[in-house]
């Protein structure tokens, strides 16, 4: 299986996330003449479990069939995990989001705490459970 990694253009934090979900995948309108943006929200419990903090940098990847989403923390480049709640939260373990017009999801929905897998290379893999 190969992973197609997506690198950032620009993003910003928005909204909140319930404690029931580890990850939430949605689409948002970016503005009047701007394209829609894909958004991945990460709950505070998941951030704690993965030992990630607001401001960490990640790259996003998709499996060949676009069913699985991968997130990997990187030292340089990548998207910044933007805190939900403002810049005063940088460096803290809080709920975060990654949002970009470069992210296009075939399905939107959520993954629960038991739905994601931390891989040996530091990547996290999850599949979105589409709401019925």
C-alpha to C-alpha distance for 128 and 108, rounded to whole angstroms: 7
pTM of the model: 0.75
Q: Mark 70-98 as b/e (b = at least 16 C-beta within 10 Å).
A: bbbbeeeebbbbbbbeeeebeeebbbbbb
List own/partner pairs for 108-112 with CB under 8 A and 24 or more apart: 108/25, 108/26, 108/27, 109/24, 109/25, 110/20, 110/21, 110/22, 110/23, 110/24, 110/25, 111/21, 111/22, 111/23, 111/24, 111/25, 112/20, 112/21, 112/22
Element housing 6 (H / E): strand 3-6
**pLDDT at residue 58, rounded to an integer:** 92
pLDDT tier for residue 130 given thresholds of 50, 70 and 90: low
- Structure-token pair, residue 109: 């929905």
C-alpha to C-alpha distance for 48 and 68, rounded to whole angstroms: 22
- Asked whether residue 117 carries a pLDDT value surpassing 70, the answer given is yes
Q: What is the pLDDT of residues 23-65, one digit of tens each?
A: 888 887 666 776 678 888 998 888 888 889 888 999 998 888 7
Mean pLDDT of the chain: 78
């Amino acid at each position: 299986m190969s992973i197609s990694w997506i690198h950032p253009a620009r993003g910003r934090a928005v909204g909140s996330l319930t404690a029931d979900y580890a990850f939430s995948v949605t689409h948002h309108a970016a503005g009047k003449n701007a394209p829609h943006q894909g958004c991945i929200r990460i709950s505070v419990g998941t951030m704690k479990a993965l030992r990630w903090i607001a401001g960490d940098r990640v790259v996003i990847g998709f499996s060949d069939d676009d069913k699985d989403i991968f997130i990997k923390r990187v030292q340089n480049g990548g998207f910044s995990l933007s805190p939900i709640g403002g810049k005063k939260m940088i460096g803290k373990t809080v709920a975060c989001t990654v949002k970009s017009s470069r992210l296009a999801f075939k399905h939107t929905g959520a993954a629960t705490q038991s739905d994601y897998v931390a891989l040996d290379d530091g990547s996290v893999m999850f599949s979105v459970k589409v709401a019925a």
